[in-house]
Structure 1
């Protein structure tokens, strides 16, 4: 008994000693040989008021320290590269020798001009920290890395600065960082609590991983939907780093990961030299961590496949990326299977590998230069070896969506050349003003191929992230390979962004109309309705004479009749809105049309103002909620009232026209709240529900729609004669991490207004499958036979998806439900299918279809 008491006492003393230690770690914890520092350079502690690792640094404190550092050191230049949605500054600290910084513009200009690297020039290393805001050990480590580089008088650091231009991005996600640090600092107790159940270790929904719009910024390097990503990639191409180190965190029970990842999961477009260089650098990380007796691993779990991540985007841009993953302390300190993990321990690992990366880059500078030169020198030969010269893209009806796609290419430094004469393709003609040629033979050869190619066969069938990201399909832009460009006539100057040349009416006419095809049309319509402008939607086609031209207005066209307006400023509002959203207004001089219905026809239906509520909170996917919020709020200027599921019982639903239910488990949805929503729906409301939000309505018998069960998916795969080693392969076949499927739209349906083609690619990232109903008139979109277009899906899953429903819409009492098995606004870049969401808001009462 006494032995047990003594053991408990010893454990308690050890715990107290540990907790006392993790509360404050001075600079010599991170840098053991720290006696040779410039005393004029401020330490992090002197500016913050506490030691790094003792508290979670806020973004303003981070910026303040880097500002002080740049003011006191002639080896540090701080630049603001933009600001976030919440008006926090995005900054870069460029650190190098005084001589390199004096010549920085010329050094970088030379790199950009030729793609080649002079052997005596410094290499460029980008250290990017904490793109996931709650993986914050990286951002805290950036303070120490910058301080040591600026203050140390050691020969080691002097050599680094002479040979390298070091770009530090201290916080890649400022908004998420502050969401997380505020939570941790606000819930940390004086006596540190390492119990994983303690409140400090449980972030509230949506947590600090994501940015303001709940986007995972580490998936946005390729689609560039978020302002942080656009600002960053512009600077990436300014510096064109040889190496980009990408610092993350993972689960608390892990150790420390660095690339290379799983050998078979590297994108085939990535040069083999990238893996070789990554392995070379890995030896430096191993040596540095071995010297500190710290656990680590590589070549497991993570891959190098999707080019939209920070560790892979450089691989296709003449450099290479390295992913680092530190086990998280989930706050100040936490109990793990490897013992108590302190925040300062996590920070130190990130410091160690920051410097192992820099030392590897310095020692292998000539190899980095040689690889960069080879990367660009091979491009012409690679392009010549292909059996085609490039791609032509075309979009005739939606100039905004086309312009958005061209802008994306432009941000990636891909040139697209306007056609100057029509080109006759095998299946359609490509016309000037709406068609562009993208030649393969340009510096971004590999990036062009990954953006345009449709790949369905893979060496390894396990994916950490999406397997298909063909961007023309995402934008629903027609693209075709061109075997030879000899017969194509195109401009010598590539496309550059410019304002649309619109003619805005200056005098009032009988009526005005605008087409619904334009991506910005929903935003314009909502602004008009919000200003009490009476608007109608054409449910039948008509043609009108405008000047000497006959204009055809297809279904979905919006008409504003002068005689129906009560707002005295209606004409100014109308023209201001048209100018704001670059919408072409057509003045109609009479209510009688050349062909089709007249303007007084009942086929022109009044469009009612909308007020949208979206369910959110615990059990709801923050990513899909963010996707929806971004599309409606940021892209279409439509306000969305976000309400947590467990608050819905206290909300008067009669104040809303629509409820949106994105993917989620909806664990906190009570039966009484389900009944409340059902009653509101039957009395005339509209629900747009996707994925498991739609399945919830099916499970509660609110909609007459069936979904394939998990057992139904399992039955697709035989399990006889499988050994234990086949477990991972079987799991990969059952998983659908992200691929693109072909669907066919019913273009006569009001939810398809604005679409001129029945072919609509959809993104699918789950095995949730909606059965094709036997009831007529309720299927808006159906997956085609042999539907897989791009990305990986096992034959069994792909066959089960084919011919089944993608979008269903029908009446429920006086209300309407629109159900989608997919996320139509995936990650903010699925511009092609997004309009269906807008149609579900504005035109849900234009259709009527029974599910019985």
Structure 2
């Protein structure tokens, strides 16, 4: 331990005496760093470039870029790499800091890391420091300036040795859009005089907060899901560097202290090796020593878990590295009163600098063990894969190329190889076409990533989850998957899947009508594009058959027909071809309205589809995550504009301008009676209202939605408490909640809200104990939970039994309008593509059903 402490204080040293607890004035960069250092005068300080000291104000992202660019220009030990742009077009960067020799040979060093068949003992260790993935947890980003300056400017032998033996990757801001939203908020409400009142607006953000990105997504949940472009930009470089250690720097509530991993031992995913936890504990000694040296309060092995692999601190754990979470008590603004006294912005930055340097010290001291761990990780994975009861997974999607390509694309970004079949394969009396089926073997380098993505565990050592417990990728994307116990008769290509270019759609210019099928994921995008350009379309509410080029073609419910005889726009055929090419959807040329089977094309069963105008209710008390998910699905993925209106403005909006209103989970009790009456009258007059989770319950309380719910009292009565002691309180609360699990449902595929689904089975994501009771009225229920609904993740058996056979999605008439409600999150975290189509169907086909509720 003495040797480790010695190495730690060589790198960190004793901070200068001006760093008294809760200092309230901005500090020069040197005062954040080890004392008795000699710094290269040619390397600029933050003050020299930006005109302010670190912690003097909340910097904007462009200022962080400005300083890091200045460092890269002046220092031979740093490379600045642009890795992409955010949705708001801010630049994402990585800084690579090491010796000149290592940087000159960087491509060769990184290439050698791909060979996991041996330990490259002479190659440098790789440590990645990622800051402030939540944009309002901004002390980390400011700490990155001090850390980068120290590593590039210090002339100490200890730092030189560190750079000789380590490649340090710094991502100063993982969430630039959220960072600027937060910084602007704080600067807007900061007083000239200091204000430590925690209720002052400086410390309390409006809706939406800086925590999330442009689409209001939590980027720290996206490492596995890859729905957001910031994450997709980053993941390419993660796999280039393949870090041995990744530090993930966050903030938490102001009355906390400082946290570093390991977290609660029983909340570690079973795929994570025990050695990973041991190495985390070894490095934790360096964090403790650094914080002890400054009398800083901290905790470890408390609160946070290491279970969900979609977080920055856990994703490395299935990629041969060690991820470490850091959480600093947050001042949110510049200073705030807490139970521990005055907490300042500078104090938080100091702690983040301390643990950044202790991460480097701890990694360096354990360099040999970390390199050996990475080698063992992949060697043991190969051995375990060969002993598995299954050989891999067969995946299949016969109708929707987009969903399948997106699924395979996610695997590819995780460096998981999927192979096209070279011949049809029969399994369980079903033939899997080689054109639409793929095999994912377990015996590959990313064995544990495959296991993590396909896991369907429902039993866990500790049932208390900080985040979701079920995230099975093929369930989320509604991709059929089958475990393969033996590969006899299964033949697949030697070449892994690669994305194919989109083909240009060409139309018969003399066709009587055109048609496209609704099972395509981007069919709503194509339909909305056509409607917005004035092209008239019909939806088939009965199946029909047409003869195309001499062959019969069956068209299912939900098929969109574009008759030539009713079009009034010039060049409308060219518009159809262009929009179909953009969406990658095949258009069928139909040369007669007479069909050999089913409805003729002039039938009244082909209903007109009207353009939509969507209002999404937001504002304080409304889940920014769920609002963001729906906005992302409709706007970003389907090209359907969404008008966001805060609750407080609803009373002033002319609702008649909108065809649909969407309400997600939130508290709507503050809506006035006048606003409720206005909403009620709008629905009665023909509007379509969609409510998700607690919004659905609120609609029922207003007697707009005809639905009953399982009461909290009934849920409480299912759990015996007679023998419980006070220490059982947390575990009981965990049993009563559904933190995030996957449930199976059966769809009524004849219902317009289920158009486009070719199978009845549909997995849904459930993250609340809100449960509809089965309605008494017929034709109201659209999706019903199965008798044994839990597919993946944890839910107490009492809750599973209560959910079973009840309804998950329902819709009914309300005057001339429609009310549709879901107890589950239909577009969860932007990757739940399987159930998202239910949202689009609610937009375009709500008036295609007629169901009265008692």
Equivalent-residue separation in structure 1 for 2:151 and 2:458 (angstroms): 46
**Could you tell me which residue of structure 1 aligns to residue 102 of structure 2?**
100
Q: Contact (CA 8 Å) 2:505, 2:581: kept in 1 or not?
A: no
**Could you tell me which residue of structure 2 aligns to residue 89 of structure 1?**
91
Deviation at residue 453 of structure 1 after TM alignment: 2.2
Q: Contact (CA 8 Å) 2:508, 2:589: kept in 1 or not?
A: no
Per-residue deviation, residues 691-741 of structure 1 (Å, max 9, x unmatched): 011111101111211112222221111111211121111111011100000
**Residue pairs, 1:809-820, within 5 angstroms:** 809-820=811-822
Equivalent-residue separation in structure 2 for 1:301 and 1:457 (angstroms): 21
Deviation at residue 522 of structure 1 after TM alignment: 0.2
Structure 1: which 5+ runs fail to align? 1-16
Per-residue deviation, residues 615-642 of structure 1 (Å, max 9, x unmatched): 0011100000000000000000000000
Per-residue deviation, residues 40-88 of structure 1 (Å, max 9, x unmatched): 0000111111110111111000000000000000000000000000000
**Residue pairs, 1:336-485, within 5 angstroms:** 336-485=338-487
Per-residue deviation, residues 117-170 of structure 1 (Å, max 9, x unmatched): 410110100000000000000000000000000000011111111111000000
**Could you tell me which residue of structure 1 aligns to residue 791 of structure 2?**
789
Moved more, 21-30 or 32-41: 21-30
Q: Contact (CA 8 Å) 1:28, 1:34: kept in 2 or not?
A: no
Moved more, 168-177 or 195-204: 195-204
Per-residue deviation, residues 447-481 of structure 1 (Å, max 9, x unmatched): 10111121101011000000001110001110001
**Could you tell me which residue of structure 2 aligns to residue 80 of structure 1?**
82
**Could you tell me which residue of structure 2 aligns to residue 705 of structure 1?**
707
Deviation at residue 27 of structure 1 after TM alignment: 2.2
Q: Contact (CA 8 Å) 1:116, 1:372: kept in 2 or not?
A: no
Find the residue that maps to 2:691 and give its secondary structure: strand
Find the residue that maps to 2:336 and give its secondary structure: strand
Moved more, 684-693 or 498-507: 498-507
2:530 corresponds, among 514, 528, 536, to 528
Deviation at residue 19 of structure 1 after TM alignment: 12
Equivalent-residue separation in structure 1 for 2:517 and 2:733 (angstroms): 47
* Residues 1:656 and 2:658 are matched in the alignment: yes
Q: Contact (CA 8 Å) 1:618, 1:666: kept in 2 or not?
A: no
Q: Contact (CA 8 Å) 2:516, 2:588: kept in 1 or not?
A: yes
Equivalent-residue separation in structure 1 for 2:350 and 2:141 (angstroms): 12
1:577 corresponds, among 576, 579, 591, to 579
**Could you tell me which residue of structure 2 aligns to residue 252 of structure 1?**
254
Equivalent-residue separation in structure 2 for 1:155 and 1:812 (angstroms): 76
**Could you tell me which residue of structure 2 aligns to residue 608 of structure 1?**
610
Equivalent-residue separation in structure 2 for 1:273 and 1:241 (angstroms): 16
1:767 corresponds, among 766, 769, 792, to 769
**Could you tell me which residue of structure 2 aligns to residue 746 of structure 1?**
748
Q: TM-score, normalised by structure 2?
A: 0.97
1:673 corresponds, among 667, 672, 675, to 675
Per-residue deviation, residues 214-263 of structure 1 (Å, max 9, x unmatched): 00000000110000010111110111101110000000000000000000
- Provide closer, same or farther for how the CA distance between residues 379 and 533 of structure 1 changes in structure 2, counting only shifts above 3 A: same
**Could you tell me which residue of structure 2 aligns to residue 14 of structure 1?**
none
**Could you tell me which residue of structure 2 aligns to residue 4 of structure 1?**
none
Deviation at residue 211 of structure 1 after TM alignment: 0.2
Per-residue deviation, residues 481-521 of structure 1 (Å, max 9, x unmatched): 10112321111101011124455225231110000000000
- Provide closer, same or farther for how the CA distance between residues 696 and 731 of structure 1 changes in structure 2, counting only shifts above 3 A: same
Per-residue deviation, residues 77-128 of structure 1 (Å, max 9, x unmatched): 0000000000000000000011100000100011024464410110100000
Moved more, 360-369 or 818-827: 360-369
2:319 corresponds, among 317, 320, 330, to 317
Equivalent-residue separation in structure 1 for 2:683 and 2:205 (angstroms): 33
Structure 2: which 5+ runs fail to align? 1-18
Instruction: Tell me the matched-pair count.
Output: 836
**Could you tell me which residue of structure 1 aligns to residue 64 of structure 2?**
62
**Could you tell me which residue of structure 2 aligns to residue 173 of structure 1?**
175
2:623 corresponds, among 602, 607, 621, to 621
**Could you tell me which residue of structure 2 aligns to residue 514 of structure 1?**
516
Equivalent-residue separation in structure 2 for 1:293 and 1:18 (angstroms): 10
Per-residue deviation, residues 397-432 of structure 1 (Å, max 9, x unmatched): 111111110111111011110011111111522111
Q: Contact (CA 8 Å) 1:394, 1:479: kept in 2 or not?
A: yes
Equivalent-residue separation in structure 2 for 1:280 and 1:100 (angstroms): 27
Equivalent-residue separation in structure 1 for 2:373 and 2:124 (angstroms): 14
Equivalent-residue separation in structure 1 for 2:711 and 2:370 (angstroms): 52
**Could you tell me which residue of structure 2 aligns to residue 834 of structure 1?**
836
Q: TM-score, normalised by structure 1?
A: 0.97
**Could you tell me which residue of structure 2 aligns to residue 801 of structure 1?**
803
Find the residue that maps to 1:618 and give its secondary structure: coil
**Could you tell me which residue of structure 1 aligns to residue 285 of structure 2?**
283
- Provide closer, same or farther for how the CA distance between residues 37 and 615 of structure 1 changes in structure 2, counting only shifts above 3 A: same
Deviation at residue 805 of structure 1 after TM alignment: 0.9
**Residue pairs, 1:292-331, within 5 angstroms:** 292-331=294-333
**Could you tell me which residue of structure 1 aligns to residue 136 of structure 2?**
134
**Could you tell me which residue of structure 2 aligns to residue 11 of structure 1?**
none
**Could you tell me which residue of structure 1 aligns to residue 212 of structure 2?**
210
Deviation at residue 360 of structure 1 after TM alignment: 1.1
Q: Contact (CA 8 Å) 2:526, 2:583: kept in 1 or not?
A: yes
Q: Contact (CA 8 Å) 1:504, 1:578: kept in 2 or not?
A: no
- Provide closer, same or farther for how the CA distance between residues 35 and 389 of structure 1 changes in structure 2, counting only shifts above 3 A: closer
Equivalent-residue separation in structure 1 for 2:267 and 2:443 (angstroms): 27
Q: Contact (CA 8 Å) 2:746, 2:760: kept in 1 or not?
A: yes
2:589 corresponds, among 587, 601, 606, to 587
Q: Contact (CA 8 Å) 2:83, 2:92: kept in 1 or not?
A: yes
Per-residue deviation, residues 537-590 of structure 1 (Å, max 9, x unmatched): 000111111113321110000000111100012111100000000010000011
Q: Contact (CA 8 Å) 2:505, 2:577: kept in 1 or not?
A: no
